[in-house]
Amino acid sequence: MNTPIRRLSVACLVLFLALMGNATYVQYVDADNLNSEANNKRVIDDEYSRERGAILVDGEPVAESVPSDDQFEFLRTYPGAGLYAHLTGYFSYTYGRSAVENTENPILSGSDDRLFVNRVVDLVANKQPKGGSVELTIDSNAQTTAAAALAALPAGTKGSVVALDPQTGAILTMVSQPSYDPNALASHDFGAVSEAWTALNGDPAKPLLNRSTQEILPPGSTFKLVTAAAALDQLNLNPASVVQGGTELSFPGITYTLPNSGGGNCGGDQITLEQALNVSCNVSFGSLATQVGQGALEEQAAKFGFGDKLIEGLASNASRFATDGSELELPQLAQSGIGQFEVAATPLQMAMVAAGIANDGVVMKPYLVDTVRDPSLRVLDEADAEEYSRALSTEHAAMMQQMMISTVEGGTASSARIPGQTVGGKTGTAQRGGDLPNLAWFASFAGSGDQQVAVAVVVESATATDDISGGRLAGPIAKAVMEALVSS
> DSSP letters along 438-488, please?
PEEEEEEEEEETTEEEEEEEEEE-SS--S---IIIIIHHHHHHHHHHHHT-
Contact assessment for residue 281 and residue 220, using Cβ atoms and an 8 Å cutoff: no
- For the question of residue 336 being annotated catalytic, the response is no
Dmax of the chain from CA atoms? 109
- Give residue 235's identity as a one-letter amino acid code: L
298 vs 332: CA distance, rounded Å: 13
Tell me which of 92, 111, 187, 221 is the catalytic residue.
Answer: 221
SS3 29: helix
Cβ–Cβ < 8 Å for 404, 455: no
DSSP state of 26: I
Q: How many whole angstroms separate alpha carbon 478 and alpha carbon 472?
A: 11
- Strand pairing category for 369-373 and 379-382: antiparallel
3-state secondary structure of 38: coil
- CA gap 368, 102 in Å, rounded: 14
In order, the DSSP letters of 281-330 are: -HHHHHHHHHHH-HHHHHHHHHHHTTTS---SSS-----BSS-TT----H
How far is it, in rounded angstroms, from Cα 239 to Cα 163?
27
Backbone φ and ψ for 379, nearest 5 degrees, come out as -70, 125
Alpha-carbon distance 357 to 402, whole Å? Answer: 10
Distance CA 182, CA 188 (A): 13
Contact between 439 and 430 under an 8 Å Cβ cutoff? The reply is yes
- CB 83, CB 179: distance < 8 Å: yes
Question: Which amino acid appears at position 328 of this protein?
Answer: L
Beta carbons of 150 and 477 less than 8 angstroms apart: yes
For 122, other C-beta atoms within 10 Å of its C-beta total 17
Q: Can you name the residues that pair with 177 across neighbouring β-strands?
A: 159
The residues carrying an active-site annotation are 221
